[in-house]
A = this chain, B = another copy of it.
Amino acid sequence: MWKKPTLIIDTAKVKLHIENMQSKATASQVIFRPHFKTHQSAEIGQLFKERGIIKITVSSVSMARFFARHGWKDITIAFPVNLAEIDEIEQLASHITLNLLVESTFSTQYIADHLESNVGIFIKIDTGYHRTGINSANYEKIGAITGIIKSSKKLSFKGFLAHAGHTYSSRSTDEIIDICQTSKEHLNALKNAFIDDFPGIIISYGDTPSCALIEDFSGIDEIRPGNFVFFDVMQSNLGSCTTRDIAVAVACPVVATHAERNELVIYGGAVHLSKEYILDKDDHRNYGLIVEMDRNGWSDPIQGAYVASLSQEHGIIHMPNPMFSKYNPGSTIGILPVHSCLTANLLKDDTFFL
């Protein structure tokens, strides 16, 4: 049915996820600025636009340029500003509303000195993930940055932005909710400390696990989830969705079968799925769950079946009996990806919308 590994997108599920997240944002009166790094797709962007969503988040200057070309005019690049692309940033800022992210006086001063056009500035706050950002207790450094912003005519301070990526290593949904609560307290303390100097600053908060699990966004002004548009096995494993919510599957041709070890070999490897994995309860690496594909979509995951290993183009599926015998070379099988952002990036040019 499918000649080569293809990302099948269940448009109805995608629309439902957008609608649900937008409804929650509206109910909590927060700005919904979805992260477009997961899909990187003009077509899926259109599904957001149809619902009146006009503010978006991306994670690179290249992505900002791509979506600006597709008509998006209010973009936050939620990635520490890349000074090496200052010319491209200037060009973008000259014709759209652009927000940048800083976490040092060095970068803030550099953009104050080099940009001609106006940009909004968010300060990245580290609420415990320890990947990027300034510790939320480091008022001295934050104050030094806001000082530079204040003295620049081109920079306007938008507020504090956090990505609580440590939710991804949570062991329970309660832990995710706790992380969100603690993060909100730190961010609100900061906001209160700076709001007199900068009226109108906001708290922008991201990560799909938090945004999927939390109903009430009070204490947050803007949400930036991205992965929720597709979800994936990592999210279902965390409890932020069920496997039925996963809106993408990779259709792969079966190329060989090994009955003696209950393995199917598929055309579908690391260059299609990415090498992201989760560990199952027996400590086996799982690079994706297995579903049956038909023309209208796919089944629930086949019990006990998973992608056990990946080479560049090969995938090895562990497939228990009696399902095993349904497959021959030439059959199509579906994979629910572990990390849909990476899989969608790899299959950008090989997608099909149901």
Q: Is the CB of A82 within 8 A of B4?
A: yes
Within 8 A of B (CB), among A61-85: 61-62, 79-85
Contact of A165 among B60, B88, B257, B311 (CB under 8 A): B311
Docked CA distance A255–B106 (Å):
10
If A256-B132, A257-B104, A275-B274 touch, does A60 touch B313 (CB 8 Å cutoff)? Answer: yes
A261 to B129, CA, bound (A): 13
Contacts of A267 in B (CB 8 A): 60, 79, 82, 84
Q: Determine if A219 is an interface residue (Cβ-Cβ < 8 Å).
A: no
Q: Is the CB of A255 within 8 A of B81?
A: yes
* A270 on the B face (CB < 8 A): yes
Residues on the B chain within 8 Å of A106, using CB: 328-329
**A82 and B37: CB pair below 8 A?**
no
Q: A3-B84, A60-B267 are in contact. Are A256 and B107 (CB under 8 A)?
A: yes
A191 at the interface (CB under 8 A from B): no
Q: Map CB proximity to B onto A77-112 as digits: 1 under 8 Å, 0 otherwise.
A: 001111111001000000000000001101100100
Q: A139 interface residue, CB < 8 Å from B?
A: no
B59–A330 touching, CB < 8 Å: no
CB distance from A126 to the nearest CB of B (A): 9
Is B131 a contact partner of A311 (Cβ separation < 8 A)? Answer: yes
In chain A, positions 297-354 with a C-beta closer than 8 Å to chain B are 309, 311-314, 316, 328-330, 332, 341-342, 345-346
For A83, list chain B residues within 8 Å (CB).
253, 255, 329-330
Q: Are A103 and B256 in contact (CB under 8 A)?
A: yes
A135's nearest neighbour on chain B, judged by CB, is B260
Checking B2, B82, B130 against A255 with a beta-carbon cut-off of 8 angstroms, the contacting residue is B82
Contacts of A328 in B (CB 8 A): 106
Interface of A is mostly: mixed
Look across to chain B and name the residue whose beta carbon is closest to the beta carbon of A40: B271
The listed residue (B84, B103, B104) touching A2 by CB distance below 8 A is: B84
A270 contact set on B, CB distance < 8 A? 274, 276, 342
A62: B residues at CB distance < 8 A: 4
Across the interface, which residues of B come within 8 angstroms of A314, CB to CB?
79, 131-132
* Distance between A343 CB and nearest chain B CB, rounded to angstroms: 11
Task: Name A330's closest neighbour in chain B (CB-CB).
Answer: B83
A314 to B276, CA, bound (A): 15
Among A265, A275, A311, A341, the most chain B Cβ lie within 10 Å of the Cβ of: A311
Known contacts A4-B85, A275-B275; is A80 also within 8 Å of B329 by CB?
Answer: yes
Chain B residue contacts of A329, Cβ below 8 A = 80-81, 83, 104, 106-107, 110
Closest to A85 in B: B3
Interface readout for A33-46 with B: 1 if CB under 8 Å, 0 if not?
Answer: 00001000000000
Task: Give the residues in chain B near A330, CB-CB below 8 Å.
Answer: 83-84, 107, 110
Question: Which 7 residue pairs spanning A and B have beta carbons closest together?
Answer: A83-B330, A80-B255, A84-B253, A80-B256, A275-B275, A107-B329, A59-B313
Instruction: Identify 7 new A-B residue pairs, CB closer than 8 A, beyond the known A131-B265, A131-B316, A271-B342.
Output: A3-B82, A82-B255, A103-B256, A104-B329, A110-B329, A132-B314, A275-B276
